[in-house]
Chains A and B, each alone.
Chain A
């Protein structure tokens, strides 16, 4: 069967190579962040519409919704990129990072990184404050936030401690509770 002249093969290959080479012209240092943490960072602000804070939780001065990362920060700039331009009810999100929990800092959502002991300490300090505490795949019930990320079937899901939410005076919508893989309502030991 007649075949295409050989030089046309080279032309096709050369074109393909040129396209691929051009893809490398000017590669910037892309930030390495696993998809898992990109999803978790996105959750941190997407949880907010399903949470109702008491009125005193809002700072009339800044009017931001404050996402605090306490302890070890697994997100890097992913979290800043995630919340950039996002807002809820006209109020933009702001990211604050602190090595240890500063009780004077205003936080609406507080992600607790670091060891289980550090997390448990921070949770004790945050108890009763109008803050949605979030922990990352913690197994120890004492170190579990109101929202605790878990990976189920390769997907990032979360458990909710409704009793702890009530202690902190925040209301969580039923839609979010429905989406949780487990809801702890107190009386029971989580897990």
Chain B
């Protein structure tokens, strides 16, 4: 069906990164240990700067010291230190650090990223991404346009990656996973920061200044610019440049006044690639008010407005989002917690196509209202039961119920077992329902939500004093996945919901401190898919919605602090062969060497994809010519004063 198919769906997603904070503070299990998980042992803490140490959350609002790991979900946390040591220049590259994500680079500007499978530029529609509580998932296409996600990477505090459904807290489209990108509080980004890097594939610089206004308020402003080189073509006649460049700027202000805390933040960006003459521009502004109602109770109100425009050779796509949400969390009785809240969101989408495929009505407004409640009961001091649901009503598909049930058993201080059953949905995107053209494709107004029932079990703990381990296994049952069917055995075609089936897999990661100055980290995931079509139906897209997934991927990292401020990190990564597209397996080595010259100055040199001059990661002939991802070498400087 054509090039238009940016497949994907879209819709709401309450909750938020910061919201996650309040949820944690107020009572959400899922969130509570997420920040704690970032640094589990005193050996991990050794890697942090003193500012980062000051930012580690050690207790919930109830002032109860958190056990080292008590989250009943598969959470991996990428810390600011991980980002700094790996020298990554973009958010998608930073996400490669999470062993529970599959990251495949398409070309200079585009990526396919998912958790637990269904990855491809066409099919990656089941991962919800939030930046400081603001969704960046597109309801127009049901995807994340990674080339439009503007994040001030040097001031990111942490990235929480949850594999598995998160519908109860985050709403629709948190099907296979949720990513929460959380930037630092402005009081933790004071002074001048210069973060600059240059190499054969990318040049990038960020400058930030943070200061205070009176005793209670702090702020930061930043500006950033990047320039990426073309990727290498595979086909001899492919001469299309895909070099990507852009700039962004933003601010954040935080005001604390007794029990009240206020945040106001915003960003603007403008990126450009010659490929299809694409300009990506937009901005956002977000305000948040948090009130501590007592030692065990907190309330949060948040609102934001976001504009994203993709202006390219064949279409103009604009999305305006207005969102307001409130939540209240409390602890009660003997360690029980309760959190509830509501959200209302309006999406205004405009899509004007210059080609045969387009929408009969370029403009559409989608409104979504939702309410959720989740309780966590301490059945015994060691056994916690979490029960909750969200009900989401949207103007296109009606009501969706997104419940979950979680059980966590703290076997002893060092070991926890958990299990969960949850339901999640992907709501239809505009493309799923409205795309038509050329007598080839007709709209599919009856396209249904894609449904998932997920069963998970997991372990997290410290098998020995010097190691940590997280293992999770899942069994996912999907229904009503997207297919392309014919209306009368021939043209025109129509998108349908004729695929279903199961996926199952195991994810594991852990750390081991060999010596006080030498840590090893390993990550592994393995997945199988058994998807089938309804009897008597066909998928003319060749099961595009099933994704292009390797059966396994693995990474091993070694991190050494060599003394006198020198450090050396090595990473070995392997991604298995992708059967449907015959993208071969690849193994790569990355090497990072750095020198903390003074507490204020850090210099580093990074080599990525060192084993091969180039390799392919994902292929999508329908939308862009195949490109190879190359070896990169770059040097970085980070100065703070």
State the A residues within 8 Å of B (CB). 1-4, 8-9, 12-13, 15-16, 19-20, 23-24, 26-36, 38-39, 41-43, 46-47, 49-50, 78, 81-82, 84-87, 90, 151, 153-157, 175-176, 178-179
- In the complex, are the beta carbons of A179 and B54 less than 8 A apart? yes
- Interface presence of B58 (CB below 8 A): yes
User: Is the pair A39, B457 in contact by a Cβ cutoff of 8 Å?
Assistant: no
CA of A47 to CA of B40, assembled, Å: 20
Known: A12-B473, A82-B46, A155-B57. A178 touches B190 (CB 8 A): yes
Q: A151-B59, A155-B58 are contacts. A16–B457 as well, Cβ < 8 Å?
A: yes
Nearest-CB residue, chain B, relative to A13:
B475
Residues of B within 8 A of A85 (CB): 515-517, 561
| Inter-chain contacts of A28 with B (CB < 8 A) | 463-465
A3 adjacent to B516 (CB under 8 Å): no
Check A156/B54 contact, CB under 8 A, given A23-B459, A42-B45.
yes
> What is the CA–CA distance of A61 and B330 in the complex, to the nearest angstrom?
56
Cβ-closest chain A residue relative to B641: A175
Q: A1-B500, A32-B414 are in contact. List 7 more A-B contacts (CB 8 A).
A: A1-B534, A19-B471, A19-B506, A20-B471, A36-B65, A39-B53, A42-B46
Tell me if A155 and B54 are in contact (CB < 8 A).
yes
Find chain B residues with CB under 8 A from A32 CB.
Answer: 413-414
From the candidates A34, A43, A84, A178, name the one contacting B53 in the complex (CB within 8 A). Answer: A43
B50, B66, B457, B461: the one contacting A47 at CB < 8 Å is B50
Whether the Cβ atoms of A23 and B461 lie closer than 8 Å is: yes
Query: Is B551 positioned at the interface, with any CB of A under 8 Å from its CB?
Result: no
Complex CA–CA separation, A34 to B67 (angstroms): 6
Chain A residue numbers with a CB within 8 Å of B415 are 23-24, 27
Known A1-B501, A1-B532: A35·B58 in contact at CB below 8 Å = yes
Instruction: Report the minimum CB–CB distance from B508 to chain A (whole Å).
Output: 7
Residues of B within 8 A of A38 (CB): 41-42, 45
Given known A156-B58, A175-B599, contact A12–B504 (CB-CB < 8 A): yes
Contacts of B459 in A (CB 8 A): 20, 23
Q: List residues of chain A with CB within 8 A of the CB of B479.
A: 1
**Are A151 and B517 in touch, CB under 8 angstroms?**
no
Q: Does B55 contact A (CB under 8 A)?
A: yes
The smallest beta-carbon distance between B209 and chain A, in angstroms, is 14
| Contact assessment for B42 and A154 in the assembled complex, using a CB-CB cutoff below 8 Å | no
Our pick among A29, A31, A90, A157 for the contact of B54 (Cβ within 8 Å) is A157
List 9 interface pairs A-B (beta carbons < 8 Å), by A numbering: A16-B457, A20-B417, A35-B65, A35-B68, A154-B25, A155-B54, A155-B58, A156-B58, A175-B599
Cα distance A36–B67 in the bound complex, in angstroms: 10
Please indicate the chain B residues that have their CB under 8 angstroms from the CB of A2 in the complex. 501, 532, 535
Q: Is the CB of A20 within 8 A of B190?
A: no
A27→B57 contact, CB < 8 A: no
Shortest beta-carbon distance, B421 to chain A, in Å? 14
Contact A81:B532 (CB < 8 A) given known A13-B475, A46-B53, A156-B54: no
B178-213 CB contacts (< 8 Å) to partner A: 190-191
Q: Is the CB of B58 within 8 A of A39?
A: yes
